[in-house]
Amino acid sequence: MYRDIFKEEHIILRESLKRFVENEIVPHVDRWEEERSIPKEIFKQMGEMGYLGIRHPVEYGGSGGDIFMTLVLAEEIARCRSAGVMAAVTMHTDMASPHLARKGNREQKQKYLTRIISGEIRCGIAVTEPDAGSDVAGIKTTARRNGDSYLLNGSKMFITNGYNAEILFVAAKTSPEAGHRGISIFIVEKDTYGFSAKKLEKMGWLASDTAELTFEDCRIPRENLLGEENRGFYYIMNNFQDERLVISAICVSHAQQAMDDTIAYAQQRQTFGKSLSEHQAIRHKRAAIALQIEAGRQLVYHAARMYAWGLDRSKEISICKAFCAEMINRVAYDCLQIHGGFGYMKEYPIERMYRDVRVWSIGGGATEVMKNDIAKRLNI
């Protein structure tokens, strides 16, 4: 299917990933959920397979692949039924490291990107703060020039991989009075003096570590400024495009997995003398789920094609993210409903999926923010 976008190499990659997920991820998911993080070893394994540098440049160990390969990665890993695993991995590959790949200089890429791609070090991106989430321009963390370095002060909230990552890309104000034109991004190493991280407990995404970060006179060498000073806001907005497309693809795949599991359950569950799947109300519900997933998939593939053609797809990606994140929530709700009481029990994956998907309509640009953006772009 979709032979215009998935060619031989995508099919082989999908096959390879399918097995990797089946053999190296699925058997450990429950344990990782309990441990509240995925082991460093799995990053190394994924690095060896080339999964962590799909679109990154070949000279730093990446594969120089295309957006459709990234979709394959997102779709197949989402099949492990743990969005926490998914978040830890895609944060590293598609939300944090692209900042370095795009804006880093040679030395920075040599030093960090090569090791990010090989899985030797993990990374994350820290923008959100206790007092500023959707409103990125409102962040308060500051980076003051001090000789050959910057002094970082402030705190960050809800940072994925924030506790385990060896490096973080941190947004801070270099010109506080300049609003969104005063933000810069810094590469911060985990053991920098003055930096600390505290794990947060949450509703879902249990296999991903989420942390609150504190910076107290944290000295960042000048060479760790990413790109140009005061251009950080634009870098963040630019990468949101990619990030939201990947999130949307994850939502579609996660929804598909939930539906597949639910169909299998409904076929074997008997009520009133026949299998659940034979009741018309359930058949309708299944059809309604299937058509929502299909609509989401088409939006994702449409935006990805525009991406591949080099067209401006800002509006399409906002539409995608708004639709898919809400869609997966409705789908998870309906799938759990079809499971009945068993769906509420931990032994069924739908219980985890239902908790996991809630955050998609909040993180990476909340639905309301996406709608604001769509309205702006439609001039309404």
Partner 1 sequence: MKICVCVKHVPDSAAKITIKGKNQFDESINFILNPYDEHAVEEAVRVKKQVGDSEVIAVSVGKKDAINTLRSALAMGADRAILIKTNIRADSVITSRALKAAIGQDGKPDIIFTGKASIDNEGFQTMYRLAAALNMSVASNVIAFSLDQERVLVECEMEADARGIIDMPLPCVIGTSKGLNKPSYPTLPAIMKAKKKEVKIIDLESLAIEKPMSSIEILELKPAVEERSSKELKGQPEEVVMQLIRVLREEAKVL
Ligand X SMILES: Cc1cc2nc3c(=O)[nH]c(=O)nc-3n(C[C@H](O)[C@H](O)[C@H](O)COP(=O)(O)OP(=O)(O)OC[C@H]3O[C@@H](n4cnc5c(N)ncnc54)[C@H](O)[C@@H]3O)c2cc1C
Which residue ranges make up the site for ligand X (CB under 6 A)?
A: 91, 124-128, 133-134, 158-160, 202, 205, 210, 359, 362-364, 366, 368-369, 372
Q: Does 49 bind partner 1 (CB under 8 A)?
A: yes
Q: Does 85 bind partner 1 (CB under 8 A)?
A: no
How near is the Cβ of 93 to partner 1 at its closest, in Å? Answer: 12
How near is the Cβ of 175 to ligand X at its closest, in Å? Answer: 20
Provide the mask over 60-79, with x wherever binding to partner 1 is found by CB under 8 A and - wherever it is not. Answer: ---xxx---x----------
16 versus 230: smaller Cβ distance to partner 1: 16
Instruction: Enumerate the β-bridge partners of residue 185.
Output: 171, 226
74 binds, among ligand X, partner 1, none (CB under 5 to 8 A by kind): none
Closest CA to 202 of 213, 211, 193: 211
How near is the Cβ of 205 to ligand X at its closest, in Å? Answer: 5
88 versus 220: smaller Cβ distance to ligand X: 88
Token pair of 94 as six digits: 């598609």
139 versus 289: smaller Cβ distance to ligand X: 139
How near is the Cβ of 344 to partner 1 at its closest, in Å? Answer: 29
Footprint of partner 1 on 10-39 (CB under 8 A): 11-13, 15-17, 19-20
Question: 298-328 b/e with 16+ CB inside 10 Å = b?
Answer: ebbbebbbbbeeeeebbebbbbbbbbbbbbb
Measured CA to CA, the distance from residue 129 to residue 231 in angstroms comes to 19
Question: 11-47 b/e with 16+ CB inside 10 Å = b?
Answer: eebbeebeebbeeebeebbeebbeebbbeeebbebbb
Closest CA to 195 of 226, 216, 176: 216
3-state class (DSSP) for residue 68: helix
Q: Does the annotation count 243 as an active-site position?
A: yes
CB atoms within 10 A of CB 115: 18
Q: Which of 33, 76, 243, 316 is catalytic?
A: 243
Question: Is the separation of the CB atoms in 139 and 127 below 8 Å?
Answer: yes
Catalytically active residues, by annotation = 243
Q: Which residues bind to partner 1, rule: CB under 8 A?
A: 1, 8-9, 11-13, 15-17, 19-20, 48-51, 53-54, 63-65, 69
